[in-house]
Chains A and B, each alone.
Chain A
Amino acid sequence: MFNFANWREKVFRGFYWPLFYTAVIISLVGVAAIFSASRGLPGDYALKQLAWLGVSILTLMAVVRIGYRTLLGYSYAFYAISIALLLVVIILGDMHLGAQRWIEIGPFALQPSEFAKIAVILTLAQYLGERARNRYQTKRFLVAFILVSFPMIFILKQPDLGTTLIFIPILFCILFLWGVRLRYLVVTSLFALTSFPVFWALLKGYQKRRLLVFLNPNVDPLGAGYTAIQSKIAVGAGQFFGKGFLQGTQNRLRFLPEHHTDFIFCVIAEEWGFVGSCLILMLFALLFIRMIRVIERTTDTRARLITAGVVSMVFFQVVINIGMTVGLMPITGLPLPFVSYGGSSLVTMFIAVGLLISIYKDRSIF
């Protein structure tokens, strides 16, 4: 029997409200921006995103109710499932022509690469957290590396370069806070630098172009080069106070592709100006402050590693996404967490927040 009172007790006792509120507020800002960005497009994107926010919050509660310890117990199963889903995506992609990142289930498009991030964070936390750092460190390090490389290879094959690369900082941050010897990270970075030509050879022509455009806009004047300059124009045109809500023209004139997903920040920056951009940055800063607080409240190594993984996932996506709109980063196609349109991304972010709230609660029992 479903016992509502019991359920409420289990979810909300010791709930970390400030973190929850911050996440919801950023998401609502996102809904407003999506509303502005998708005017004139068929399909009620803002309304759909609002519905997804509802789904996300319910998912978050479910995660809190189950608790991170139980979820950690299933981490290897989650890992296996997400690898299987990624394979399904690749098979479907072969059946359709070319790129495929979704599994379509009725009206929904599930993006397994988003959920894979959570699965990898849980798996790494479980594997490393259960093992002491002072013995067999080389082996631990290598296993962690291999665990991360499988989903990376499959996601790169989709092809989704941005999401592939996000796994690297996640791994590094988790290893760093696990206490890996620093020379491992240094050596790996050097190794990565020297193996860059191999990685480069694996990329498709247009992926190379997008990365090269960052250095030389002449490489792809009609594609990524154009997107790069137009997104910078959109952000800059916002000036200090912005053009006002729904007043952005770069967006209306459709100079930018994907303005409700990957380039949503351009819409915010153009319409709300520097003031608005800073507000978003501050909201994210507040989010990170509250997330990092969770690390300090727990003594469970696995919980710390989960938190490290979640913070680095959100943080690097924010930096890469916003950095790309102002020309600091190459255009790789990553959504802005909580803000960009997309159900899979939003649900994933709220699962991540749910894990942190569960960790926070768990501590408060003692």
Chain B
Amino acid sequence: MTIREFEFRTGLFRFFVFGSLLCLGLALFDVQVRCGGEYRDLANRNRIRLLYLEAPRGDIYDRNGAVLATSRPSFDVFVIPEDFDGKNAEFLSGVLGLKKEKILSKINHPKDAPFVPVLLKRDVKKAVVFKLEERKPELAGVSVEIRPIRFYPQGTCASHVIGYLGKISKREYRGQEDEGLYRFDDWIGRSGVEKIFERELKGEDGGKQIEVNSQGRMIRVLSERDPRPGSDLALTIDSKLEEKISQIFGDRIGSAIVLDLETGEILTLVSKPNFNPNVFVSPGEGTERGRIFKNPSSPLLNRGVSTGYPPGSVFKLVTALSALDTGVVPPGKRFFCKGFFRLNPRSRAFQCWRDGGHGAVNLFEAVEQSCNVYFYNVGSRVGPDTLSRYAHELGLGEAVELELPNVFPGVIPNREWKKKTYHDAWYEGETLNFAIGQGYVLTSPLQILRMVGLIATEGNLPEIHIAKTGKKTKKTRKPVVRVESIRLLKKAMTRVIQTDRGTGQLARVDFMTMAGKTGTAQAPPKEPHSWFSGFFPYENPKYALVVLIEHGGSGGFYAAKLAKEIVLGMKETGAFDSVPGAGGANV
């Protein structure tokens, strides 16, 4: 660049800089001097107000269109501090039932702008609204606004699936401040589908910028944006069946889930104890909220999905499959059960649940009678890594991809896992515990249900859903095992219920053939967890069911009995009306 060109360019640069500054000066002159009077006037009177137009949150329906969550109008009392006369605090205190000091401290909060309405009380009764309206001329700055409040018409029904709302936290609010989707006192989904589908359900608030006169009445709308209501959501849950099973489950602690094997839809997900989600949005329910949070049996925990239990004998299905599929133990081979098992003559005795032993049992009898000694033999022959591989094939140790938060992934140990977690070698005794679903193994009821579903459908299970999102349903990953192995396993499972030596015979019903497995998972020092999982009708599987009773005692007794009640309940609500092989269509 020549010196001349450089000088030309710096000259142009300089001209641009100072020219722009001059333009800014002129713009400031225009705003401050020419139009300054107008703006000063606007500033002095503070005539511009903001009105929020809250977007109604989307409704949640069950599979038949019954409303599970909606919005109802709530009368909320607001005060604009700048317009409020302190003399009226006494009257407000009487009508609203708030302490006068509390009202004044809310109104005179120094951090808030005096023209932004302050919420005094949410969801007041109609009578209170009338009292306020009567005195309206004297009550400057006080207004009643009708705003939507979340409402769950069916109360506790499917509470763990729906979830609940909570106030947005300071951190969450700051995280989205730029986007401006939420206001500082806004509600946000805290669990269940209310949390997972928060974005869709929430919608987008709108608002108005208005100019008011000196009495605070609107003169004109300066600008306005309509709210975009949230989208509705349909669940796969059948609320009638849900309520029915919830009643049958009663005060027991645990979970029961019913899965439609043809569609992969969850029809019922009961977790007990449950809670009433209305409590979290209604003012004046603070003590009840506190009770829920402090309750030692944690009612907010979704026991079907978000936590794990040792599966106990239900896990023997995995052990049996590994025997069948690897061919290490042929199905006809018998092992003799004398009530206990020793790895070698000097090792300790691993007990069978039946003191006298089962005698010589093959695979079918072992599944039927849940013989520990048989599975100790299988386990010690296939080893922990093979057991672990088959458990993963059946989806244990793998989180279920479901439209719910906090899905528990489960624990399926193997040699490597033990080394990483405990820095210790795997002991052979642990293989025996592993083979009967004790020791390190943890599974959620939902995982057991998926496993039984995979067995029932011989690996062709649709992906499990709890919300109807309109997306094309995929398949659950097909286990890499031979179909014949699964068919033999199914045959064994039907003996559990249909024979008089079967541990699950208490679940038997007279109108169809069922298949399943019981489990009694040791959980010392308390009573063992009681499991049952099965599918039905056997010939043409339509439903799978899992029942878990926390510290419920013997699975064959309590869980199987409860399962029968649930199946009868399902029949009552018409679940088998068009199901062949279940006293339905072909009768």
Residues of A at the B interface (CB closer than 8 Å) are 40, 96-99, 133, 159, 173, 176-179, 204-206, 217-223, 225-226, 229-230, 232-240, 249-250, 253-255, 269-270, 273-274, 277-278, 281, 284-285, 288, 292, 295-296, 308, 311, 315, 318-319, 322-323, 326-328
Contact = CB atoms under 8 A, between A and B. Distances in A.
Interface string B5-25: 110011001100110110011
Interface in B272-294: none
B523 interface: no
11 contacts: A159-B178, A235-B32, A239-B40, A253-B113, A254-B113, A273-B32, A274-B28, A288-B17, A288-B18, A296-B10, A311-B17
B6 A179 contact: yes
Contacts of B222: 217, 221, 229
A159 B126 CA distance: 46
Interface in B213-227: 222-225
Contact of B225 (A97, A206, A220): A220
6 closest A-B pairs by CB? A236-B39, A97-B175, A239-B36, A179-B1, A222-B207, A237-B43
A323 B175 contact: no
The CB with the most chain A CB atoms within 10 A, among B21, B44, B207, is that of B21
Interface string B163-202: 0000000011011111110000000000000000000000
Given A179-B5, A235-B28, A226 B171 contact: no
A79 to B, nearest CB: 25
B39 A274 contact: no
Contacts of B176: 97-99
B113 A281 contact: no
Contacts of A97: 171-172, 174-176
A236 B110 contact: no
A98 B43 contact: no
A221 B224 contact: yes
Nearest to B110: A40
Nearest to B2: A179
Contact of B175 (A98, A179, A226): A98
A319 B20 contact: yes
Contacts, number: 170
B178 A206 contact: yes
Given A99-B177, A232-B31, A311-B17, A221 B36 contact: no
B78 interface: no
Contacts of A292: 10, 13-14, 17
Contacts of B17: 288, 292, 311, 315
User: What is the interface of chain B mostly: helix, strand, loop, or mixed?
Assistant: helix
Classify chain B: how many residues form its interface, as a range: 35 or more
B133 interface: no
B417 to A, nearest CB: 27
A159 B178 CA distance: 9
B225 A240 contact: no
Interface string B27-63: 1111111011111101110101010100000000000
B338 interface: no
The CB with the most chain B CB atoms within 10 A, among A179, A236, A295, A296, is that of A236
Contact of B207 (A217, A221, A233, A323): A221
B208 interface: yes
A315 B33 CA distance: 24
B383 interface: no
Nearest to B5: A179
Contacts of B24: 281, 319, 322-323, 326, 328
A133 B179 CA distance: 44
A221 B113 contact: no
Contacts of B115: 253, 255
Contacts of A327: 31
B171 A96 contact: yes
Contacts of B225: 218-222
